[in-house]
Structure 1
Amino acid sequence: MSLVLEPVSSPAALKEFIRLPARLYGRFPAYVPPLNMERRGFLDASKGPFFKHGRAQYWIARRDGVAVGRVSAQIDAAQPAGTFGDAGLFGCLDAIDDDAVVRALMETAEAWLQGQGRERAFGPCLLSMNEEPGLLVGGHDEPPLIMVPWHPPYLAPRLEACGYAACRELHYWRLDGLAAKLEELQRTRRPAEAIQGLTMRPLDLRNLAGDIEIMRTVYNDAWKGNWGFVPLEPDDLKGLSSDMKPFVQRDCGLIALKAGKPVGVAMILPNLFEITADIGADPSPLGWAKLGYRTFFHRFRTGRIILLGVVSEYRHSVGGAVLAMAMVREIIDRFADYRHGADWVEAGWVLDNNQPLQKLLRQFGFAIKRTLRLYGKQLVAP
C-alpha cells in the first residue's frame, strides 16, 4: 500500500484539509467538529490572523489515494527569540491509528522546519501558541468547548513513538453547578471591596474594538516573561470584535481600573458548541437557519474564561492576588446571573506549574477536567 504526502497548494486541497478531521474521527461519539467556515477563518492564508505575522505549509497524507492524515508546519514571527528553544511549530496533526502515517506526517513537517533554519520542533498548535495549543491527553469524553482541540487517545503515543518528548501540560479547570455557586457567592463579601479605589466595568459594546485592544495590552503585560508566552497581536483578537460580536454580551468581559488606569482584565466566551454541535461542520440550509435563530435567542449555559490577567506591577503581590480573585468572582457572578441558570464554566488554559492561579481556582471550587500536552523534539544534534 503506497503512502504519499501531498502539499496543500490549491483551494480544493485546502477545503479537503479543513474537512479531514470530521471524516477521520466521525466514529468517535465524543468528537464534535467545529464549523468548517470557522476553521477556514484560521487556516486560510487570506483570512487567518496568524498570517499577518507567520507562514505555514500544510500536507495531506494519502494511502492508495485515500486521505488518512494531515499536518502543518509553521514559523511564527511574533514568537519571542528563544521561546521553545527557537523552535519551529507543527500543528493540525490528525490521523488514523497508524504508526507509519503519523511518522510520515511528522518527518515531512520536520524536513520543512529544517529547511526554514529551525533545529527544533514544538507543538502541536493549530498555528500559534495563541490558537488552540496542545494535544488532548485527558478529558476525551468531556463535552466540546469553544477553541479547545480534540484528538483521539491513540495520537499521543503515536507522536511519542516519533521521538517527541512532553514539554508541558495545559489544564482546563471547570466550575460545575454555577447556580448553587452563585447563591453561595452572594453570601460573601466581594474581594473587590477590599481594594481601595478599584472599579470594574463591563464591555462597552459601542466601542468593542477599543475594549478588546485594552484587554490585549493588559494581557500581554500580565503574562510577559512567563513560560511559552507569545504576545497577542492586534489581529489575533480581531475576531472577537467582528465574528464573535453577536455572541459577546457586555457582561462577558471586565476591565478593572484603579485611578482610571486599566489594571486587570477578564473575558468569558459563551460555548458556541451549544448551538453548532447538532448541525454538523457544513450545515444544510436548514442548519444555517437554525444557527441564525439560535444566535439571537439561545441562552448559553456553558462558557470558557479565555482571558484573565493583572498588570505586571501587581504580580507576586497580595494586592495582585486579591485583584485576580475579584475578577474571577465578578466574571462568574455576571455570567451566571446574566444567563439565569448557567451550568458550568471552564478556565483555560492553565500551565501545570502555575501554582498561584491553580490555588485561586481551587478556592472557587474549580477542578481539572481536561489536559492538553505540548511536545518538543531536537531535529539537529546540538
Structure 2
Amino acid sequence: MSSVRTDDNTTFINELSRLVGHSHLLTDPAKTARYRKGFRSGQGDALAVVFPGTLLELWRVLSACVAADKIILMQAANTGLTEGSTPNGNDYDRDIVIISTLRLDKLHLLDKGEQVLAFPGTTLYSLEKALKPLGREPHSVIGSSCIGASVIGGICNNSGGSLVQRGPAYTEMSLFARIDENGKLTLVNHLGIDLGVTPEQILSKLDDDRVKDEDVQHDGRHAHDHDYITRVRDINADTPARYNADPDRLFESSGCAGKLAVFAVRLDTFPAEKKQQVFYIGTNQPEVLTEIRRHILAEFTHLPVAGEYMHRDIYDIAERYGKDTFLMIDKLGTDKMPFFFTMKGRTDAMLEKVSLFKPHFTDRFMQKLGNVFPAHLPERMKTWRDKYEHHLLLKMAGDGIAEAQSWLT
C-alpha cells in the first residue's frame, strides 16, 4: 500500500502537501518506516505520514482524509505502549494516513497552574517541567514520560496502571472531532472554554494563544477521576477498582482509543509531594502481598502514590535488558530520553534497509555496551532477589511514609 500511488491518491497527496507544506509530508516508505512500526510491536503500510503544525491545519487534514475516505491513525510519540498508533498488518480495506501530532506540543496553564490545557503533541515530560516551578505535577508521573509519551495518549487509553492515589487518566473536558451518523466530520468543544462557534474560530483562538481567564468556565465537570480513591478502597467489591474499557471511565475523549481525533484536553494538576520514599518488599508467599494490599487500601489514612509488583523472572529481565536505559537516565537525565528514543527510531529505520544488520540491532548493541559498565543495582537488591520470588515496590509520600514504615516494621 505504501508504495502504490494511483491518480486519485496523487490528487489527495497534493492536497495534503498544500495544507501542511511539502516538508511536513512523507510518502516514501523508507522515510515513513519509523512511524509505521510500533516501538514494541505493530507494523504495516501507510499511504502517507502528515505533520500538521497548527490545530487548524490538523482540522483541514482530517477533513481531507474523511473526504477521500481514508483510514486515519492519530499518532504522538509512538511509544508502542498500547500498539494503537501504527498499522497492524496490511489487510485493511482502505488506504491509511498517519497524522503525527509531534509539532502540536503547546500547553496552557489555567488557574495559576491548577489545571492545564494540553494539545495533541504535549508530552508528560514537558508538562512536568512546566509545573515544577509551581510546586505541582500532572496526573501521571510514570516511566513512559521518559520516552516522550503524550498527555492526550494517556487520556485516550486511561493510562496510569500503577497509580493508586489518582487512578486512570480521565477528563470530561476536551475538544475533539468525530464523524457523525451522516458521515460528516464535526468538531465538538466540551473544554468549558469560550472559543467561538465555527471550527476556524475555535482552533484559531487556541493556535494564537488568545484564551483569557474570563473565557474559562467552571461548571462542575471533572478533570480527573475524582472518585477513584473510594472505589479502590472498596476491597470487598464484586468488580475490580479498574479494568480495561471500564464503561464508567469512558467519556468522550477519555478511553476513546483512537476513535476520536482529540485536539485538546483540560486536566487537573496536583500539589507535588516534597518527600517520597519507595519501600521494597519481598516474599515467597503471594498471599502475603494480598494481605498487604487489602490492609493498606482499607486501613491506611494515606494511600500509596503507586504500587508495582515484580516477579523474580521480571527482575532478571529488567536487570539484563534494562541496564542501558537505566544508565542513560542516571547519567544523562530524563530530559534527554525523548531525543535518544527519536534518534533510535530513525537509526532502526535506516538499518532495516541493510541486510548486514539483524533486527533490533540498536537494542542489542546498547545492551552489550551496557554490560561494559559495572553492576548498576545495589548488592542488597540482588540478595533480595535471591531470597524472595515475589517483589512489591510501594511508593509512599508525605505522612504516608511514616505510616507505612510503622506498619511494615
- Please indicate, yes or no, whether the TM-score normalized by the shorter chain is above 0.5: no
Q: Which has the higher strand share?
A: 1
Larger-gyration structure (1/2) = 2
TM-score with structure 2 length normalisation? 0.29
Greater relative contact order (Cα < 8 A, sep 6+)? 1
TM-score, structure 1 as length reference: 0.30
